[in-house]
Amino acid sequence: MSKKKETPKKKREVAMVTLEDGTTMKRVDYIRKLYKEGMKKSEIAKKLDIPYQYVWQATRKLDQAEQAEEVPAAPEEEAEEDF
């Protein structure tokens, strides 16, 4: 058997943003923060000058969580009593 050479995985660079007050944070966290504050996805993409797809991907799970909360719970079936 021949062994395959393991190629080292490249670490992805984490995109960072610098806020007006000089602090830095991950871009994905900043996108989520803006979205939670009520900014529309298209506005966020324009503000950060990034593709809409990046914003959509960053907020996807937030949307899924909101939808899960909005689904009404199924009514519980009443237990029938035996007579």
Question: Are the CB atoms for 15 and 27 separated by under 8 Å?
Answer: yes
pTM: 0.67
* Per-residue confidence (pLDDT) for residue 70, from 0 to 100: 74
Give the mean pLDDT of the chain. 84
Q: Hey, what are 56's tokens?
A: 């959509």
Give a yes or no: residue 27 inside a domain. Answer: yes
Domain count, the chain: 1
- Residue 21 structural domain: 16-67
* Per-residue confidence (pLDDT) for residue 24, from 0 to 100: 96
Which CATH number does the domain housing residue 44 bear?
1.10.10
List pLDDT tens digits, range 5-33: 777 777 888 899 999 999 999 999 999 99
Name the residue among 70, 68, 62 with its Cα closest to residue 31: 62
4 pLDDT tier (thresholds 50, 70, 90): confident
